[in-house]
Amino acid sequence: MNDENVVERVCLLALMKKETDETLKDVQNMLVETGMFDMKECKVVFKMLKSEQYISEDGALTMKGVMEAKLAEEMFRQS
């Protein structure tokens, strides 16, 4: 993932920071409510993240996803 993938990184970070009782759908709704994108765009991004194995089929972050989310967190802290 390169530096231009801010939207994808925000999604991974949101998944990493979600509460234990929140679902993937809850995270998607929260991101849509921020106005970052609409639900259709959100689903496309999450589908891509799944296909690239950042998110598992059950909606959890894979190890690859966790590593990328932590990089995103550092990137946003430095901004």
Read off the pLDDT of residues 11-26 as tens digits, 9 standing for 90 and up. 999 999 999 999 999 9
Judge whether 36 and 7 are in contact, CB under 8 Å.
yes
Q: What share of the chain is helix, strand, coil (3-state, %, to 5)?
A: 65, 5, 35
pLDDT tens-digit readout, 24-66: 999 999 999 999 889 999 999 999 999 999 999 999 999 999 9
Q: Per the structure block, which two tokens stand in for 55?
A: 């998110």
**What are the chain's domains?**
6-78 (1.10.10)
Q: What is the DSSP letter of 57?
A: T
